[in-house]
Chains A and B, each alone.
Chain A
């Protein structure tokens, strides 16, 4: 079955970096984008960025530019999200989620196919 399995919880000190992995199985890894989304305690979902596993191209939310790096390893069907210069506000659950690599058109509207499979989430705690 299609699944995304993320690495385990992390505890980091302020200023450190964290690298979270997301291993895909049950589908063609290079046919789907992978998003990273985080959720701070009691807060909403926050989109961080996207990677195309096929060529490795990335796009990041402006808020994370310069601090986040998303990479992939096609040999193991795994994507990685590394966040540096951690601060307490980065304490959150981090999710990976896949999305079909196409854009639909209907009338005057475009649409994405949505993040249809999510990882279980990885809790990252930043504390001194």
Chain B
């Protein structure tokens, strides 16, 4: 079982704002990183640290964290944002160990 918990599915109307959450004890001291994965493709890093976007990631993607919950927010969701999203952070059982959340399927209506 995963130490990071995500809702299995979330939907959003085109152009609206959606928040995808990730819960876990390690998030009280480590920011999560977030990955987008489309069918048949390798994951893509979209957010790391407090709220850092790699080059090429649109600024409609943002990250935040409070207590044991990390959030990925998409402001003005586009059709191309429909994908699976995964959080990743430190596994509380040891240094250098990581864990992924179970993933959230985002549907853009």
Contacts and interface: CB of A to CB of B under 8 A. Distances in A.
Interface in B23-56: 29-31, 33, 35, 37, 42-45, 47-50, 54
A104 B49 contact: yes
Interface in A85-123: 95, 97, 104, 106, 108-116, 118-121
Q: Is the interface of A mostly helix, strand, loop or mixed?
A: strand
B21 interface: no
Contacts of A128: none
Contacts of B94: 59
Interface string B75-108: 0000000001010111101111111111100000
A44 interface: yes
Interface size on A, as a range, is: 20 to 34
Interface of B: 29-31, 33, 35, 37, 42-45, 47-50, 54, 65, 84, 86, 88-91, 93-103
22 contacts: A35-B98, A44-B84, A44-B101, A45-B43, A45-B103, A47-B88, A47-B91, A59-B97, A95-B43, A104-B49, A109-B30, A109-B50, A110-B30, A110-B31, A111-B30, A111-B33, A112-B33, A112-B90, A114-B47, A114-B88, A116-B48, A116-B54
